[in-house]
Homo-oligomer: A and B are copies of this chain.
Amino acid sequence: MKKAEATRLMILQKAFELIYVNGYQTTSIDHIIATTQVTKGAFYYHFKTKDEMGLAIINDILKPNLTSSFIEPLQKGLDPLDAIYNLMHHLLMENEFLKVEYGCPVANFTQEMTPWNAEFSKVLDELTQQWTQVLTATIEKGKENGSIRKDVNAKQVTLFVMSGYWGIRNYGKLENSKKVYMPYLKELRRYLDSLK
């Protein structure tokens, strides 16, 4: 990797951290360049505007992470319901990229940037769509192999599960404790079992 490319990525990573903790609007470029030890000239060499950087964070940091943390675990050929539960358990309890006190980065971005920035909404929606599609496919697979009842509506379940995830992350943020994750996961397990 070229040095310039490394600088760019380093800016994105540290900027992401700052934004994950403090929000997009409140994270100033001055704050970013102070943290990254990169000058303003360097910053604006790599990004035309702050928003361009924000979009790059979503595309170059969040998207790859979503793939490895949210999507690939579903494609391991486990029993579908187990796969979904294990995914959620891992995301909430073990994943070290995601911190309880800062919530879900995608949900944070969505809440902050939507509806007044169409560009952000678009890429965030793409991100979300990816996840919902894989979740829906996982459930359909379960219907085919008989582990999930045929009358279950896969898209409906996906929406229900995904909403719960976004919501519990926000609640965890409020309580600043993973404690709330446990009863949530227990009920999720019960709910998933009701689809058998």
Q: Is the CB of A174 within 8 A of B125?
A: yes
Copies of this protein in the complex = 2
Interface size on A, residues (CB 8 A): 48
Contact of A187 among B107, B128, B153 (CB under 8 A): B153
CB distance from A143 to the nearest CB of B (A): 15
Q: Is the CB of A156 within 8 A of B128?
A: no
Q: A47 at the A/B interface (Cβ < 8 Å)? A: no
Q: Is the CB of B23 within 8 A of A114?
A: no
Chain B positions within 8 Å of A116 at CB level:
21-22
Q: A194 at the A/B interface (Cβ < 8 Å)? A: yes
Q: Is the CB of B163 within 8 A of A163?
A: yes
Chain B positions within 8 Å of A121 at CB level:
174, 176
CB distance from A138 to the nearest CB of B (A): 16
Q: Measured between alpha carbons, how far is A191 from B153 in the docked complex, in Å? A: 12
User: Which residues of A in the span 100-124 have a Cβ within 8 Å of any Cβ on B?
Assistant: 101-103, 107-108, 110-112, 114-116, 121, 124
Per-residue B-contact encoding for A4-47, CB less than 8 Å = 1, 0 else? 00000000000000000111011000000000000000000000
Chain B positions within 8 Å of A165 at CB level:
163, 167
Per-residue B-contact encoding for A47-86, CB less than 8 Å = 1, 0 else? 0000000000000000000000000000000000000000
